[in-house]
Amino acid sequence: MGKFYVTTSIAYVNAPPHVGYALELLQADALARYNFLLGKETYFLTGTDEHGAKIAKAAETEGKDKQKFVDEVAAKFQLLADMFNISNNDFIRTTDRQRHWPAVQKIWRKLEESGDLYRAKYKGLYCVGHEAFMKPSELKDGECVLHKQKPEVIEEENWFFKLGKYKKRIKEAIENQEMKILPEHRQKEVLNLLDDAEDVSFSRPSKDLKWGVPVPGDETSTVYVWCDALTNYISAIGYFDETEQFKKLWPADAHLIGKDILRFHAMIWPAMLLSAGLPLPKAIYVHGFINVDGQKMSKTIGNVIDPFALVEKYGIEPVRYFLLREIPSGEDGDFSYKKLEERYQSDLANGLGNLVQRVLTLIENSLLGEINYRENLEDKKVVELIKKTKESYEKNIDNFRLHEALGDVFSLVNFANGYVNQHKPWELVVPVPKLPFVETKSQKDKMGMLAKPASTSAAGRPDHFLEVITNLVFLLLNISFLIYPFMPETAEKILKSFGWSLEKGLDKLDRQKLVTKKEEVLFPRL
């Protein structure tokens, strides 16, 4: 079935993680888990970006040794991934001198061998927030639009990388979908930026910036932080030694990044790869920012959302669901506690959680907790609805519309709840001593509220009650598989309550005995 290598951007460790980075982790996790279910060999990389002027200044402000400072903050990002049950295979840190530094210096030498590095004096406006030189046209009232600060005027002699040499080839790769960029309007944005692309300063004098990877053969220079950081995508998987893992995984199938770092990933990184003779990534997925009650998150305003506190209050799975459902995957979205609680009550507690409890209760009370599944009881309309939902779901995931894919799943949840209300299965059962169509001895020997065996067809078809229950079970098992990439713990709990599992798939349900077990309520009402 092939492989799927997905990466997040590596988080800049000048401050602890906020909910925006949690969203990126969750989006990448959903993609990784989805491809895992497809049977692909999945590899998921995340990590931290720990070099540069901004990090050095942040450590100095805290009065801490730089390495100690980044160790402390990086640990918080690792804890964030663990807390959210993120399925990453690796966590790369750019201060890793065994894995990362050798790869950075190797790719530098490759660029040098290609004749794409040269020395030149330069005077420009350097934004420490971006760790990049900016053009006057990119500023508003002399300030960086994103960081609300005036860039520093810097004049120095640096190494430059011939980005302009590769812009035509990069444009071709984007236009022919060799390197797909989603959402589509981000593709147009990059194509416009490429028209004005110039060579890039690729080093800083080490006298001004020692916190980084030294330029090979030039002790007076430190590798530009973006050249350093972008290399993580290959350093972590064995680029330096060109391991079998590297040969198998590269090129990446998807880089997941924020819109503020698009130009680095869609221009500088592809140019570096072309210069080094490496294949381009297959796709770049670009997400927006999270605003809070309509305002941009800001320390000054005091509205930065702490993901740890959020999970402590609402739980992991509800927060996963809210961020992936409420925030449009490729655009800015709005966070509010009110919206979160509304989603929790309507979609999770009253929707999915209520549905699971209703079906389990019906099976427990009316079939003594066991159901012998028969495919001939599946309603063709229900089967067709699930098929169409899956088609839409898959299309949405393939086009980085994760929020819409999750919407597809909950359209099935709503349908299933409506199906219960329409057919009223609790009215279709009466007390009888046994079920002639049930094969298990344990049920034949028990008495209780059991499905009425009357109304069978000439072919021996059981009554309407079993049809309804079978279709509800079929819906819930499919919902569980579809929801797994987004809410893995919830999916596994539902499957377990029906005596099923991810490993069993959905292809061999016919004539299986499902033994149900009611657990605690999935989503207690707030």
Sign of the dihedral defined by the CA atoms of residues 214, 216, 217, 221, in that order: negative
Three-state SS for 122? Answer: strand
Q: Is residue 428 very low, low, confident or very high in pLDDT (cuts 50, 70, 90)?
A: confident
Q: What is the mean pLDDT of residues 212-225?
A: 95
What are the DSSP calls for 44-82, one per residue? EEEEEE--SHHHHHHHHHHT--HHHHHHHHHHHHHHHHH
- Yes or no: say if 145 and 139 are a contact pair by the CB < 8 Å rule: yes
pLDDT at 434 (0 to 100): 44
* Same domain as 386, residue 256: no
pLDDT at 436 (0 to 100): 46
- Provide the CB-side half-sphere exposure for 328 (13 A, CA): 9
- Yes or no: say if 449 and 365 are a contact pair by the CB < 8 Å rule: yes
pLDDT at 54 (0 to 100): 87
Q: What is the mean pLDDT of residues 273-301?
A: 89
Type of residue at 311: V
* Same domain as 249, residue 141: yes
Closest to 24 (Cα-Cα) out of 9, 5, 43: 9
* Same domain as 374, residue 271: no
Residue 215 has pLDDT above 90, yes or no: yes
Q: What is the mean pLDDT of residues 87-116?
A: 98
428: domain CATH number is 1.10.730.10
Q: What is the mean pLDDT of residues 201-214?
A: 91
* Same domain as 77, residue 219: yes
* Same domain as 355, residue 277: no
296 within domain boundaries: no
pLDDT at 98 (0 to 100): 96
* Same domain as 379, residue 279: no
pLDDT tens readout for residues 415-427: 999 999 999 998 8
pLDDT at 156 (0 to 100): 82
Closest to 453 (Cα-Cα) out of 428, 486, 416, 485: 428
DSSP assignment letter at 520: S
- Helix, strand, coil in percent for the chain, rounding step 5: 50, 20, 35
Last residue of a domain, one of 287, 321, 354: 287
Contacts of 160 (CB under 8 A, 6+ apart): 117, 118, 119, 120, 122, 199, 200, 201, 202
Contacts of 332 (CB under 8 A, 6+ apart): 288, 289, 290, 291
pLDDT at 459 (0 to 100): 35
Contacts of 156 (CB under 8 A, 6+ apart): 121, 122, 204, 205, 208
524 within domain boundaries: no
- Yes or no: say if 344 and 322 are a contact pair by the CB < 8 Å rule: yes
308 within domain boundaries: no
318 within domain boundaries: no
Between 154-158, 182-186, 355-359, the lowest mean confidence (pLDDT) is in 154-158
Q: What is the mean pLDDT of residues 115-125?
A: 86
313 within domain boundaries: no
pLDDT tens readout for residues 313-332: 999 999 999 999 999 999 99
Q: Is residue 501 very low, low, confident or very high in pLDDT (cuts 50, 70, 90)?
A: very high
* Same domain as 355, residue 258: no
CA-based R_g, the chain, Å: 27
* Same domain as 348, residue 276: no
Cβ neighbour number for residue 231 with a 10 Å cutoff: 27
Between 200-209, 382-391, 401-410, the lowest mean confidence (pLDDT) is in 200-209
DSSP assignment letter at 449: E
472 within domain boundaries: yes
Task: Tally the domains of the chain.
Answer: 2
Give the separation between CA 448 and CA 458, rounded to whole angstroms. Answer: 27
Question: What is the helix (H) or strand (E) element at residue 422, kind and residue range?
Answer: helix 402-423
Last residue of a domain, one of 287, 308, 325: 287
Give the separation between CA 134 and CA 121, rounded to whole angstroms. Answer: 16
50 within domain boundaries: yes
Give the separation between CA 312 and CA 305, rounded to whole angstroms. Answer: 13
Q: Is residue 513 very low, low, confident or very high in pLDDT (cuts 50, 70, 90)?
A: very high
- Yes or no: say if 435 and 450 are a contact pair by the CB < 8 Å rule: yes
pLDDT tens readout for residues 137-174: 667 766 766 656 677 767 788 999 999 999 999 999 99
pLDDT at 146 (0 to 100): 61
- Yes or no: say if 175 and 280 are a contact pair by the CB < 8 Å rule: no
- Yes or no: say if 122 and 250 are a contact pair by the CB < 8 Å rule: no
pLDDT tens readout for residues 44-79: 999 999 998 889 888 999 999 999 999 999 999 999
pLDDT tens readout for residues 444-498: 444 334 444 433 333 333 478 899 999 999 999 999 999 999 999 999 999 999 9
Residue with tokens 């549905």: 355
* Same domain as 66, residue 190: yes
* Same domain as 237, residue 372: no
421 within domain boundaries: yes
Three-state SS for 286? Answer: strand
Cβ neighbour number for residue 430 with a 10 Å cutoff: 13
Q: What is the mean pLDDT of residues 221-246?
A: 97
Q: Which two tokens stand for residue 180?
A: 């797909």
Residue 504 has pLDDT above 70, yes or no: yes
Q: What is the mean pLDDT of residues 387-401?
A: 98
Mean pLDDT across the chain, nearest whole number? 90
Residue with tokens 């003594």: 368
State percent of the chain over pLDDT 70: 87
Give the separation between CA 122 and CA 464, rounded to whole angstroms. Answer: 80
Question: What is the helix (H) or strand (E) element at residue 183, kind and residue range?
Answer: none
pLDDT at 46 (0 to 100): 98
Domain containing residue 221: 3-287
pLDDT at 124 (0 to 100): 67
Q: Is residue 294 very low, low, confident or very high in pLDDT (cuts 50, 70, 90)?
A: confident
* Same domain as 145, residue 31: yes
- Yes or no: say if 329 and 27 are a contact pair by the CB < 8 Å rule: yes
Three-state SS for 336? Answer: coil
* Same domain as 250, residue 347: no
Residue 432 has pLDDT above 50, yes or no: no
How far CA 217 is from CA of 94, 205, 209, in Å, comes to 20, 14, 17
Last residue of a domain, one of 260, 287, 314: 287
Between 110-114, 196-200, 212-216, the lowest mean confidence (pLDDT) is in 196-200
195: domain CATH number is 3.40.50.620
